[in-house]
C-alpha cells in the first residue's frame, strides 16, 4: 500500500519449525515482496532442536510493518511472530569480530580503545589483533568507526539477537 | 473448507500391530493408499521417468482414475476446475524437471485464486539431488513463492504423514496449492505404512471463528449505515456452499445491496434484485457508484485487489470499512480497514446473523429507501447497453443468447482471459456458487479449456462450457486431445474477434491506437482443428444464425467447438480507466481521455 507515514526500524522475533527451507521461505518473503532486511539471525533455541528463533531487524511504515508480520504469520512453519519494538522494552545485542593491523602508537591506541569498549582480544599477532565485541548495534558501529583510523582490516558481525525485558517470553 | 471434515482416516485408527497394515510398502504404494484413504477419486497428470513407480501403482489399481492431460500446466488448471466445482482439493501428478516447471503457471494461478491443489512432483533420487542430474530442477526452490507450502520427502516412512499434512494445509485456512516433491528412490524404497495419528499440521492452526467483540462492532456499524453495501469475494466460495446461503440470508434480512468480485460470482444469486453485479474495472455503474458512495461496507472474502479498487485515494472515501477474511495479511494490505475480523466467511456470517437477531438490529436500522432510490437511478443508466447490429454478431449479444439457452441448466462456465472473460462476467448470470471458473488473480490465458475439463470430469452429466477467445484458446489447445480421448462433452465457445481484444482495447485507449502485435494473425481454421481431434467443429458469423448455432452446440451429445465470429473492434464497458476512481467510469459511447499521467499508466 502506498503510505507516506514515518519509517521506523522494528525488531521482530519469529519462532519457526526447524525444518529444511524455512529460512529460504522467510528471506524469499522479504525479497519477493520488497521488504527491507537490516539484519537477520537464526539458530535453533530448544534442546530438542524442533524450533528455531529468527530475529529480523527491518524498517517500514506502520502498515508495511503490519503486513510483514501478517505475511510471516501465514507461513505454515511459523509459530509465533512478535514485534519487540512495540511490545515493550527489549534488549538487543550484536556480536562483532574486528580485525585491526598496525604497529606502534596506533596499535597501542587500538588496544586502549578496545579496553574502554570492553572488547576481548581473541587473536593477536605482533602486528594485528582480532577483537570480539558484543553490544547494541550503535556501540559496535562506534567501535568500528574508531578502528577505521587505526588499521581496520575487516569486520564480521552477527546481526541483532533480541529478547523482551521482564519475566515473560514468547 | 468443509470437505476436509468428510475425510476418513482409517490408517490413524487402524489396530496397532495389524500385520497387513504394517507390511512394508513402497513409497509409491503409500502415496496411492494415502490418496485413496483421503477420498481422492481423480488425478490429473502426465508421466515421466521420475514418477514411473507411481504410474506403475496407478496401473495396478482402479480406485483412482487418472486423467492424462497434454501439458502439465493444463493438469493444474484441470485440477483447479475440479476443485472449484466440487469443493474438494484437486490432485496433480507430474514428473521432475520440465514436468514440474510446466506446472508452475498453474500453481501460481491456484495460489493467487486460493484454490486447494495437491501437486505431487517426481524428483531425481536422493543421492543425485544437487548434481544437475537428468531432469533435475530445484522444485521446492522454484515453487516456494507460488505454493502455500511445499515438501521434499527425504524419508520414505514419512510419506503418509506428509500427504495427510499436505491435504490439511491445502484445504484449511486460506486454501492454496501444496507441492510434494518425491525423489524416485523414495517411491521405490519400502517401509511400514504408519501414520503418526494426527492428520493436522503440528502447529498450523488457522483461526476460523472471528473475535466476538469485533463481530458485534461490525454488526452495529452495519445497522447504523444509511448507505450500506456488501462487497463479497471468492472467499465465500472457498468457505463452502453454506457460506453462500448465509450471505444470501444476511443480505435479505438486512436489505443491503450486494456486489461481487470476479471470483465471487454465484455466491449471491445474480437474479436477486439486491444484486448490483460485479464491481471493479469492468464492473457495473451501480456497483461501482454504490461502493464509492456507501457509508458502511462489509468486505467479506475479498481482498481489495487493484482491479477492484481503482485508484486507492479515490476508493470509497467516506465509508466505514469492515473486512472479514481468513487471512490476516489480506487486511490493511491495500486499503485501511476500520473493523477487521479474522474468520472463515461462513463462521463470521453465522455470527453476524445471530447478533443481528439477538440485538434486534433490524429495528435500529435507518430506512434504506433513499439509498435504494439512488441505486435505481444508477441502474437506469443501463450501463451494459451496447449497439446491436444485423451485420455482425456483437460479443455481448452472443453471451446474452448463450445465457438464454443455458438458463436453468445449472451450467458450469469457464473462461479464458480477456474481453470475453469480462463480458461473460457481465452477461452470464450465476445464481449458485461453484459454477463459475475463471482466472482472477493471475489472469492466465489458457486457463479455461483445462478448467472445463476438470469440471466435466467431476460432473460428467453437467453442461460445461469454456467461453474462450481466439488468442487464449491457442494457449492450451492441445487439450482437445484430452477432451477427445475421454469423450468429454465440453462445449468450447470461442468468441473470435481476431484480436487479443483486451490488449487491442488498451492500445486503442491509452497508446493512440498503435496496435502493436495484438492482431491474431494466422489463426487456424478452428472448425477443422476440432475435427482433426475428432471433435465436432462449427462456426457462425451471421447474427441471424447465432441462436441456431448455440442451440446446436448445447444439444450435441459430445464435445463441440463453436467458432463464433464476433465484431472485431468492440470495446468492453463500463470501464474504470487508468488512474481513475470508481465514480469516474466510462460507458460505451463516452469520449475517452488518455490516462492523465505516467503514474496512471503504470498502475494498470
Ligand atoms: C499467459 C498470458 N499472456 C499474456 C496475457 C496478457 N493478455 C491479457 S488479455 C490478452 C488477449 C486475450 O485475447 P483473446 O483470448 O482473443 O481474448 P479477447 O480479449 O479478444 O476476448 C492478453 C494477451 C495474459 N493475460 N496471459
Ligand atoms: Mg480475441
- Per-residue pLDDT tens over the stretch B456-479: 999 999 999 999 999 999 999 999
Confirm whether the ipTM is greater than 0.85: yes
Arithmetic mean of pLDDT, B503-528 = 96
Q: Could you tell me if A112 and A79 lie in one domain?
A: no
Q: Could you tell me if A58 and A110 lie in one domain?
A: no
Confidence of residue B9 (pLDDT cuts 50, 70, 90): very low
Distance in angstroms (rounded) separating the CA atoms of residues B184 and B26: 11
Tell whether A169 is covered by a domain: no
Strand, helix or coil for residue B520 = coil
Who among A32, A66, A74 is closest to B145 (CB)? A32
- Residue A28 structural domain: 8-83
**At which of A30, A54, A83 does a domain end?**
A83
The count of domains in chain A is: 2
Q: What is the pTM of this model?
A: 0.95
Asked if A24's CB is within 8 angstroms of B173's CB, the reply is no
**At which of A33, A59, A83 does a domain end?**
A83
CATH architecture of the domain covering B395-572: 3-Layer(aba) Sandwich (3.40)
pLDDT at B253 over 50: yes
In B221-316, which ranges are E strands? Answer: 228-232, 258-260, 275-278, 296-300
Atom of ligand 1 nearest to the CA of B445: 26
Tell whether A107 is covered by a domain: yes
pLDDT at B4 over 70: no
Tell whether A148 is covered by a domain: yes
Q: Is the CB of residue A25 less than 8 Å away from at least one CB of chain B?
A: yes
Q: Write down the pLDDT at residue B3.
A: 38
Arithmetic mean of pLDDT, A44-68 = 94
Q: Could you tell me if A77 and A103 lie in one domain?
A: no
Q: What ranges do the domains of chain B cover?
A: 2-192, 212-379, 395-572
The DSSP element (H or E) to which B535 belongs, if any, is: none
**At which of A28, A50, A83 does a domain end?**
A83
Arithmetic mean of pLDDT, B197-215 = 88
Confidence of residue B202 (pLDDT cuts 50, 70, 90): confident
CATH architecture of the domain covering B2-192: 3-Layer(aba) Sandwich (3.40)
Arithmetic mean of pLDDT, B277-288 = 97
Task: Provide the mean pLDDT of chain B.
Answer: 94
The DSSP element (H or E) to which B66 belongs, if any, is: strand B65-68
Please classify residue B284 by burial: count the beta carbons closer than 10 Å to its beta carbon, then call 0-12 exposed, 13-18 middle and 19+ buried: buried
For residue A31, what is the domain's CATH number?
3.30.70.260
Asked if B144's CB is within 8 angstroms of A28's CB, the reply is yes
B495 in ligand 1 pocket by Cβ < 6 Å?
Answer: yes
Tell whether A2 is covered by a domain: no
Q: How far is A32 from chain B (nearest CA, A)?
A: 8
pLDDT, one tens digit per residue, over B406-438 is 999 999 999 999 999 999 999 999 999 999 999
Cα of B73 to ligand 2 centre, how many Å? 21
pLDDT at B22 over 80: no
Tell whether A127 is covered by a domain: yes
Q: Could you tell me if A110 and A65 lie in one domain?
A: no
Q: CA nearest B266: which of B291, B292, B243, B297? A: B243
Tell whether A151 is covered by a domain: yes
Please, what is the end-to-end C-alpha distance for chain A in angstroms?
29
Ligand closest to CA B421: 1
- For chain A, the three-class secondary structure string (H helix, E strand, C coil) is CCCCCCCEEEEEEEEEECCCCHHHHHHHHHHHCCCCCCEEEEEECCCCCCEEEEEEEEEECHHHHHHHHHHHHCCCCEEEEEECCCCCCEEEEEEEEEEEECCCHHHHHHHHHHHHCCCEEEEEECCEEEEEEEECHHHHHHHHHHHCCCCEEEEEECCCEEEECCCCCC
For residue A133, what is the domain's CATH number?
3.30.70.1150
Assigned fold of B212-379: Rossmann fold (3.40.50)
DSSP-derived pairing of the beta strands B177-183 and B412-415 = unpaired
Tell whether A70 is covered by a domain: yes
CB distance B428 to B81 below 8 Å: no
Q: Is the CB of residue B328 less than 8 Å away from at least one CB of chain A?
A: yes
Amino acid at each position: 500500500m502506498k503510505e507516506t507515514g514515518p519509517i521506523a526500524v522494528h525488531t521482530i522475533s519469529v519462532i519457526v519449525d526447524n525444518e529444511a527451507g524455512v529460512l529460504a521461505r522467510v528471506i524469499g518473503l522479504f525479497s519477493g515482496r520488497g521488504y527491507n532486511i537490516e539484519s537477520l539471525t537464526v539458530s535453533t533455541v530448544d534442546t530438542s532442536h524442533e524450533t528455531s528463533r529468527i530475529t529480523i531487524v527491518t524498517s517500514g511504515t506502520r502498515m508495511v510493518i503490519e503486513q510483514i508480520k501478517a505475511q510471516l504469520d501465514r507461513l505454515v512453519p511459523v509459530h509465533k511472530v512478535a514485534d519487540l519494538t512495540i511490545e515493550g522494552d527489549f534488549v538487543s545485542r550484536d556480536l562483532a569480530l574486528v580485525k585491526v593491523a598496525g604497529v606502534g602508537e596506533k596499535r597501542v591506541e587500538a588496544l586502549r580503545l578496545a579496553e574502554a569498549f570492553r572488547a576481548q582480544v581473541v587473536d593477536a599477532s605482533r602486528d594485528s589483533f582480532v577483537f570480539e565485541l558484543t553490544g547494541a548495534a550503535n556501540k559496535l558501529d562506534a567501535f568500528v568507526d574508531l578502528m577505521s583510523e587505526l588499521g581496520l582490516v575487516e569486520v564480521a558481525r552477527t546481526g541483532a539477537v533480541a529478547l523482551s525485558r521482564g519475566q515473560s517470553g514468547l | 473448507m468443509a470437505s476436509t471434515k468428510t475425510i476418513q482416516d482409517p490408517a490413524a485408527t487402524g489396530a496397532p500391530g495389524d500385520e497387513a497394515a504394517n507390511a512394508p510398502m513402497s513409497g509409491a504404494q503409500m502415496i496411492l493408499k494415502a490418496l485413496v484413504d483421503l477420498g481422492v477419486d481423480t488425478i490429473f497428470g502426465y508421466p515421466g521417468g521420475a514418477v514411473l513407480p507411481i504410474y506403475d501403482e496407478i496401473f495396478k489399481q482402479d480406485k483412482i482414475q487418472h486423467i492424462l492431460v497434454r501439458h502439465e500446466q493444463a493438469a493444474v488448471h484441470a485440477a483447479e476446475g475440479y476443485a472449484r466445482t466440487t469443493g474438494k482439493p484437486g490432485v496433480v501428478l507430474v514428473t521432475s524437471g520440465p514436468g514440474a516447471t510446466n506446472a508452475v503457471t498453474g500453481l501460481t494461478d491456484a495460489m493467487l485464486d486460493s484454490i486447494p491443489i495437491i501437486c505431487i512432483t517426481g524428483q531425481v533420487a536422493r543421492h543425485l539431488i544437487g548434481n544437475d542430474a537428468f531432469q533435475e530442477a530445484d522444485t521446492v526452490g522454484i515453487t516456494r513463492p507460488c505454493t502455500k507450502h511445499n515438501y521434499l520427502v527425504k524419508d520414505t516412512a514419512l510419506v503418509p504423514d506428509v500427504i495427510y499434512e499436505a491435504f490439511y494445509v491445502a484445504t484449511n485456512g486460506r486454501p492454496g496449492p501444496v507441492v510434494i516433491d518425491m525423489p524416485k528412490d523414495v517411491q521405490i524404497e519400502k517401509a511400514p505404512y504408519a501414520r503418526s495419528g494426527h492428520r493436522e499440521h503440528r502447529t498450523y492452526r488457522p483461526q476460523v471463528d472471528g473475535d466476538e467483540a469485533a463481530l458485534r462492532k461490525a454488526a452495529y456499524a452495519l445497522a447504523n449505515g444509511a448507505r450500506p453495501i456488501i462487497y463479497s469475494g471468492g472467499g465465500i466460495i472457498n468457505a463452502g456452499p453454506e457460506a453462500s446461503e448465509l450471505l444470501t440470508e444476511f443480505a435479505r434480512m438486512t436489505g443491503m445491496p450486494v456486489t461481487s468480485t470476479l471470483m465471487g460470482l454465484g455466491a449471491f444469486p445474480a437474479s436477486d434484485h439486491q444484486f448490483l453485479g460485479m464491481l471493479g474495472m469492468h464492473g457495473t455503474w451501480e456497483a461501482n457508484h454504490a461502493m464509492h458512495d456507501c457509508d458502511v461496507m462489509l468486505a467479506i472474502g475479498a481482498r481489495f485487489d487493484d482491479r477492484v479498487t481503482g485508484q486507492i485515494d479515490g476508493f470509497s472515501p467516506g465509508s466505514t470499512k469492515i473486512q472479514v477474511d481468513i487471512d490476516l495479511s489480506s487486511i490493511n494490505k491495500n486499503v485501511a480497514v476500520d473493523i477487521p475480523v479474522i474468520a472463515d466467511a461462513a463462521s463470521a456470517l453465522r455470527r453476524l446473523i445471530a447478533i443481528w437477531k439477538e440485538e434486534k438490529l433490524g429495528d435500529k436500522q435507518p430506512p434504506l429507501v433513499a439509498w435504494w432510490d439512488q441505486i435505481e437511478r444508477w441502474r437506469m443508466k443501463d450501463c451494459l447497453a451496447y449497439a446491436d447490429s444485423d451485420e455482425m454478431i456483437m460479443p455481448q449479444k452472443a453471451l446474452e443468447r448463450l445465457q438464454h439457452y443455458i438458463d436453468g441448466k445449472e451450467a458450469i462456465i469457464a473462461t479464458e482471459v480477456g474481453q470475453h472473460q469480462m463480458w461473460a462476467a457481465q452477461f452470464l448470470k450465476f445464481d449458485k456458487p461453484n459454477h463459475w471458473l475463471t482466472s482472477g488473480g493471475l489472469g492466465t490465458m489458457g486457463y479455461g479449456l483445462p478448467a472445463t475439463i476438470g469440471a466435466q470430469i467431476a460432473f460428467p452429466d453437467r453442461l460445461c462450457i469454456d467461453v474462450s477467445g481466439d488468442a487464449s484458446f491457442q494457449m492450451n489447445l492441445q487439450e482437445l486431445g484430452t477432451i477427445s480421448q475421454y469423450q468429454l462433452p465440453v462445449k468450447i465457445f470461442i468468441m473470435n474477434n481476431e484480436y487479443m481484444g483486451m490488449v487491442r482495447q488498451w492500445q486503442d485507449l491509452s497508446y493512440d491506437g498503435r496496435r502493436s502485435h495484438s492482431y491474431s494473425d494466422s489463426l487456424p481454421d478452428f472448425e477443422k482443428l476440432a475435427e482433426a481431434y475428432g471433435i465436432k467443429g462449427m462456426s457462425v458469423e451471421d447474427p441471424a444464425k447465432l441462436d441456431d448455432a448455440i442451440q446446436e452446440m448445447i444439444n450435441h451429445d459430445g464435445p463441440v467447438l463453436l467458432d463464433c465470429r464476433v465484431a472485431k473492434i468492440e470495446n468492453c464497458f463500463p470501464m474504470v480507466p487508468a488512474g481513475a476512481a470508481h465514480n469516474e467510469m466510462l460507458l460505451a459511447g463516452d469520449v475517452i481521455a488518455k490516462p492523465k499521467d505516467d503514474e496512471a499508466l503504470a498502475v494498470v
